[in-house]
């Protein structure tokens, strides 16, 4: 039976809206000229370069992509994407001015690339698997069903005067309706701004105001970890401060009783009033905005990063396919929320552009118990799981028995995204989850980059993967290290600020309303480099290890120490679940080292003994002056709902300051007071 948007609702009127069982998939695009997505043989080039005389293996292809980037990316763009009008020029970029343009003159539609072409060629293939918060409950949406849902949503938005270029805020649970809203915006040329459905009303209002949003799509409530999230009430509080918002569409996720005001429109009712089954896709210029996504700035003011159409889509398509060795029968399980760039690139756009099956995981890794991820792997036969080190460390703390209770034989590739994956977590992941047979793809990238820049794969056949480092730059990515005067550091075994020498299609184009801030942040010298803000070490063979943010470097008696390196050493203690290291003022050293350490639940060892052992581990693995001056054992760390540790708060605690700013985005704001009380007791 053909899916409808109401099918995904718990509303008692769920069957009121019916989509015809057979609808012709309307398109004027040619679906036959794209190269097939052949399995990637790591000893051979990409299919587009199979006959190239100088490209025989991965190393040859990487060299070719650096030396001839225009030819490399143009071949991929023509073969991997469907164009209404092919581009006139591959790129027009200048890192010195921050001007980034790819596939100049080209026109396409992202929703057609992600939905229509696969609905035509493989209509009954599963596009989305919605793993609901309720354990064991899932729904599957085929490409044909998704096609009709996107057309219906697109027409609904048009009927309510949402036009090309309008900003639409999406504040929803991770569900098919949210993905449909993203793709419908792409279809009609509106710019979606997805905000993680866990931010406070103040945080949501700030993003709505900055983006000048006129339409919001939300749900009555969310469900996460067995708890009800009052999304509509949060939106009401936010919208009351945002006069630009003219309408709010409310999806019935739970059927809970929520207030409906003058500008509120039940989403199901609005969709039921759509008469046309087909929404003609807007022909979009390659550099038209696709979406805005907000990320934290060093000043505390969120940055609305703008990603555009063709370059972003191509880069997510290619990286999803080849970093993860994605095959057409795989079931890709990225558990990130769509409110973050990982969800955009590797839940929605990358997998769907490749015609894949992608997971929408609505719950948490510990609900109803710490075996939830592995139960999902067993039940849905996931071939990939892509998650954050924070989640891994949390599960390590819960013990090994949970992961061993389930069949994980379907898994081929394990992914990690976010902060650097420490050695202990890497080993646990490899042995307990991957059963010593799955590659671990530890990826480095940023919201700004759009997609993965450094990862162990692709690489030549059986090439080694080393723990706790992303290792190899992706095709077309030329990293370098610079010192604090922005001079390039040549050779192996060097540590410095990680920069990228030449542009790539997936990078963001600007900060909305802040072009000068964009240039000052990412292109701040005349060297013609992209500044990542991360420190890294380059080892032999050009392998990279990320050591932390530039502002996560501590200068102890003139010695520069990366906090990530100290945290990595601390994590090797068998009693430690996770840690966070910051600096604090020291009368003699200039800066001292303050370590906040979370122990595993079953630890009975004396606290003083553990603290002494941790100092010895750090001394042994790094050096004597890297030993923490203060080690505070804490029950948890202040983190956002995305799992990011709020280090600025820990720095203020270490500095014994009182003004912590807005803590409303923390999962548990009370943890701050708990840490302070324990600090005062010591």
Q: What is the pLDDT of residues 283-314, one digit of tens each?
A: 999 999 999 999 865 444 678 999 999 999 99
In this prediction, residue 299 carries a pLDDT of 44
The proportion of the chain whose per-residue pLDDT surpasses 90, expressed as a percent, equals 73
Other CB atoms within 10 A of residue 50 CB: 12
Q: CA-to-CA distance for 193 and 195, rounded, in angstroms?
A: 6
Q: What is the pLDDT of residues 61-74, one digit of tens each?
A: 999 999 999 999 99
In this prediction, residue 285 carries a pLDDT of 98
- The verdict on residue 618 lying in a domain is yes
- The verdict on residue 670 lying in a domain is yes
- The verdict on residue 239 lying in a domain is no
Average pLDDT, the chain: 89
- Would you say residue 33 has pLDDT above 80? no
Task: Give the burial class of 66: count Cβ atoms within 10 A of its Cβ; 0-12 exposed, 13-18 middle, 19 or more buried.
Answer: middle
- The verdict on residue 91 lying in a domain is yes
In this prediction, residue 588 carries a pLDDT of 72
Q: Among residues 61, 86, 107, which one ends one of the domains?
A: 107
| CATH number for the domain harbouring residue 626 | 3.30.300.30
In this prediction, residue 273 carries a pLDDT of 96
Q: Among residues 88, 107, 126, which one ends one of the domains?
A: 107
Considering only CA atoms, which of 120, 152, 186 is closest in space to residue 3? Answer: 152
Q: What is the pLDDT of residues 568-599, one digit of tens each?
A: 889 989 999 999 999 898 877 778 999 999 99
* Residue of higher predicted confidence among 678 and 186: 186
* Residue of higher predicted confidence among 16 and 34: 34
Domain count, the chain: 2
In this prediction, residue 530 carries a pLDDT of 97
In this prediction, residue 22 carries a pLDDT of 44
Q: What is the pLDDT of residues 450-507, one digit of tens each?
A: 999 999 999 987 799 999 899 999 999 999 999 988 899 999 999 999 999 999 999 9
Q: Which domain holds residue 661?
A: 557-681
Coil, helix or strand at residue 487: coil
- The verdict on residue 160 lying in a domain is no
- The verdict on residue 511 lying in a domain is no
How far is residue 117 from each of residues 121, 217, 358, measured CA to CA in Å?
6, 26, 17
Sheet holding 247-251, edge to edge: 264-266, 247-251, 215-219, 167-171, 191-194, 289-295, 303-308, 510-511
Q: What is the pLDDT of residues 37-94, one digit of tens each?
A: 444 444 457 999 988 999 989 999 999 999 999 999 999 999 999 999 999 999 999 9
Q: What is the pLDDT of residues 103-120, one digit of tens each?
A: 999 999 999 999 999 999
- The verdict on residue 80 lying in a domain is yes
- The verdict on residue 508 lying in a domain is no
């Amino acid at each position: 039976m053909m899916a409808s948007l109401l099918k995904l609702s718990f509303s008692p009127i769920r069957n009121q809206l019916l989509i015809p069982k057979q609808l012709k998939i309307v398109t004027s695009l040619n679906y036959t000229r794209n190269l097939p997505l052949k399995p990637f043989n790591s000893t051979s080039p990409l299919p587009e370069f199979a006959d190239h005389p100088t490209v025989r293996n991965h190393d040859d292809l990487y060299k070719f992509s650096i030396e001839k980037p225009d030819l490399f990316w143009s071949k991929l763009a023509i073969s991997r994407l469907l164009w209404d009008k092919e581009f006139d020029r591959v790129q027009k970029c200048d890192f010195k001015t921050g001007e980034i343009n790819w596939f100049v003159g080209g026109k396409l539609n992202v929703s057609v690339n992600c939905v229509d072409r696969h609905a035509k060629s493989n209509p009954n293939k599963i596009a989305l698997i919605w793993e609901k918060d309720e354990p064991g409950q899932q729904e599957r949406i085929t490409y044909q069903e998704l096609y009709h849902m996107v057309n219906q949503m697109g027409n609904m938005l048009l009927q309510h005067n949402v036009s090309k270029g309008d900003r639409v805020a999406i504040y929803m649970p991770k569900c098919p309706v949210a993905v449909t809203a993203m793709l419908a915006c792409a279809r009609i040329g509106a710019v979606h701004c997805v905000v993680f459905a866990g931010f406070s009303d103040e945080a949501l209002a700030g993003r709505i105001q900055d983006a000048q949003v006129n339409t919001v799509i939300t749900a009555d409530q969310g469900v996460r970890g067995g708890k009800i999230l009052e999304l509509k009430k949060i939106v009401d509080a936010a919208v009351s401060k945002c006069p630009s918002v003219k309408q709010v569409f409310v999806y019935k996720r739970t059927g809970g009783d929520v207030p409906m005001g003058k500008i509120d429109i039940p989403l199901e009712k609005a969709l039921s009033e759509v008469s046309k089954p087909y929404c003609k896709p807007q022909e979009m210029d390659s550099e038209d905005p696709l979406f805005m996504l907000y990320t934290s700035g060093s000043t505390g003011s969120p940055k609305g990063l703008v990603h555009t159409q063709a370059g972003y889509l191509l880069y997510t398509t290619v990286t999803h396919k080849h970093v993860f060795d994605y095959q057409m029968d795989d079931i890709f399980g990225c558990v990130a929320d769509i409110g973050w760039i990982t969800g955009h690139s590797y839940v929605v756009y990358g997998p769907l552009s490749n015609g894949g099956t992608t997971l929408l995981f609505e719950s948490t890794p510990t609900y109803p118990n710490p075996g939830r991820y592995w139960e999902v792997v067993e039940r849905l036969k996931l071939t990939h799981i892509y998650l954050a080190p924070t989640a891994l460390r949390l599960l390590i703390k819960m013990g090994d028995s949970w992961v061993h209770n389930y069949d994980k034989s379907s898994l081929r590739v394990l992914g990690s995204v976010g902060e650097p994956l420490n050695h202990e977590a890497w080993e646990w992941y490899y042995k307990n989850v991957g059963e010593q047979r799955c590659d671990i793809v530890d990826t480095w990238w940023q919201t700004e980059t759009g997609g993965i820049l450094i990862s162990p794969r692709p690489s030549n056949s059986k090439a080694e993967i080393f723990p706790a480092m992303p290792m190899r730059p992706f095709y077309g990515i030329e990293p370098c290290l610079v010192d604090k005067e922005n001079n390039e550091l040549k050779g192996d075994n060097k540590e410095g600020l990680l920069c990228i020498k030449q542009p790539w299609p997936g990078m963001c184009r600007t900060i909305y309303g802040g072009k000068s801030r964009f240039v000052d942040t990412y292109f701040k010298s005349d060297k013609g480099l992209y500044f990542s803000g991360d420190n890294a070490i380059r080892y032999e063979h050009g392998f990279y290890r990320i050591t932390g943010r530039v502002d996560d470097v501590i200068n102890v008696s003139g010695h520069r120490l990366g906090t990530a390196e100290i945290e990595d050493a601390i994590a090797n203690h068998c009693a430690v679940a996770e840690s966070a290291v910051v600096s604090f003022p020291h009368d003699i050293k200039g800066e001292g080292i303050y370590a906040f350490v979370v122990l595993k639940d079953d630890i009975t060892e004396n606290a003083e003994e553990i603290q002494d052992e941790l100092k010895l581990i750090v001394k042994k693995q790094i050096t004597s002056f890297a030993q923490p001056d203060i080690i505070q054992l804490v029950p948890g760390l202040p983190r956002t709902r995305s799992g990011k540790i709020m280090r600025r708060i820990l720095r203020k605690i270490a500095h014994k300051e009182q003004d912590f700013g807005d803590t409303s985005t923390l999962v548990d704001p009370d943890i701050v007071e708990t840490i302070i009380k324990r600090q005062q007791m010591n």
